[in-house]
Structure 1
Amino acid sequence: HPSLAYNYNNIGSVYDSMNNYPSALSYYRKALDIQQKSLPPYHADLANTYNNIALVYQATDDYSTALSYYQKTLEMKEISHPYNQSLIAIAYNNIGDMHRLKGDYLTALSYYEKTLPILQKFLPSNHTSLAILNANIAMAFKDLCQYKEAAKHAEQAVNIARCTFGLHHSKTMAYQKLLDDLRQN
């Protein structure tokens, strides 16, 4: 029954938050099994469960498996929520993150660059998601030794974080450190 899948997903989330990834994965898989049997093939709940599974694999540094689940999440969201571009943007960003962590910086940038105009369209200019995305873009450019472009995005991340969090917040300071490091190159 689909409501049982919902409960399994919630239990998985609790284990996930406790960093008990094997148990989290077990419950997410139980939820997925029920959903695949009881829901239409592109139901939004399936996308959520695929995303949860991807998060577990990401947390355990299995980026290739996480990437495959994030790609399933994107496919589901494109079909089940074609007009909800912010959900699709999150999926793009997650896929970009996995490519960056796997060392495929150009592919990561292509996904981040798909994400940026969507977030800029739907979010206020000082939204934390834009700070995070700009920091991601900066790190990908840094990994490609394109320091000037990296610094531009790091500076945007710093400016947003200052407005949103203040000068002494850990995110603001982390983005500032990234920017300072880039300016030395």
Structure 2
Amino acid sequence: MNNYPSALSYYRKALDIQQKSLPPYHADLANTYNNIALVYQATDDYSTALSYYQKTLEMKEISHPYNQSLIAIAYNNIGDMHRLKGDYLTALSYYEKTLPILQKFLPSNHTSLAILNANIAMAFKDLCQYKEAAKHAEQAVNIARCTFGLHHSKTMAYQKLLDDLRQN
């Protein structure tokens, strides 16, 4: 498992075939770019992952302009890369684009909203804005409790984040 060089090789071959056989902004190309980004993210190459996530966003905006949920996922992924690179303000700007879209299209207790609120909380924490971070961490905890239950690993991780923030 975790054979990232091999995965990357296969994704690049798939991308080459897709670029030759599909229209320039076909949805399958966006998915392949996203998968390549995931490989780079898994190997901590956040700059390269970011460039592929940005390409994914560009493709989704053209191939699925009315599917805001897909675009929101791309915004979130780009935000994650900026946060992991230490660019917390840019990360927050992408998360803030994501939040209203997810709130519009998903149930209020959807796991994606818990994950996004936790991401926002971590970015605010990194900016030492603990009160704002705690607000989002609490939302993540509440959603996770409803969705996963009290003893799920995500619920406990979000609760730990909230507890840490309340100590600041």
TM-score (norm 2): 0.99
**For residues 77 and 19 of structure 1, what CA distance do their matches in structure 2 show?**
27
User: SS at the partner of 1:82?
Assistant: coil
What is the CA distance between 1:131 and its match in structure 2? Answer: 0.1
SS of the counterpart of 2:151? coil
Deviations 1:101-143 (A, max 9, x none): 0000000000000000000000000000000000000000000
**Cα deviations by residue, 1:55-87 (Å, 9 ceiling, x for unpaired):** 000000000000000000000000000000000
User: Aligned equivalents of 2:137 and 2:32: distance in 1?
Assistant: 32
Identity rate, percent: 100
Question: How far is 1:39 from its partner?
Answer: 0.8
Deviation at 1:176, TM superposition (A): 0.2
Task: State how far apart, in whole Å, the 1-side matches of 2:2 and 2:161 are.
Answer: 28
CA offset digits 1:118-170 (Å, max 9, x no partner):
00000000000000000000000000000000000000000000001111110
Q: Distance in 2 between matches of 1:157 and 1:145?
A: 19
Correspondent of 2:8 among 25, 44, 48: 25
1:38 aligns with 2:7: no
Inter-partner Cα distance in structure 2 for 1:166 and 1:55: 28
Number of positions where the alignment pairs a residue of Structure 1 with one of Structure 2: 168
Matched, 1:71 2:84: no
In 1, Cα distance between the equivalents of 2:148 and 2:14?
37
> Which residue of 172, 177, 180 maps to 2:155?
172
Partner Cα distance (1:165, 1:102) in 2: 30
Aligned counterparts of 1:55 and 1:135: Cα–Cα separation in 2? 20
Partners of 2:48 and 2:68 lie apart in 1 by 24
CA distance in 2, matches of 1:24, 1:39: 21
Secondary structure of 2:54's counterpart equals helix
C-alpha displacement at 1:19, in angstroms? 1.0
- 2-structure distance, mates of 1:75, 1:166: 37
How is 1:1-185 mapped onto 2 (pairs within 5 angstroms)?
Answer: 18-185=1-168
Q: Which runs of 4+ in 1 moved over 2 A?
A: none
Distance 2:34 2:2 in 1: 16
* TM-score normalized with structure 1 length: 0.90
Q: Unpaired runs of 5+ in structure 1?
A: 1-17
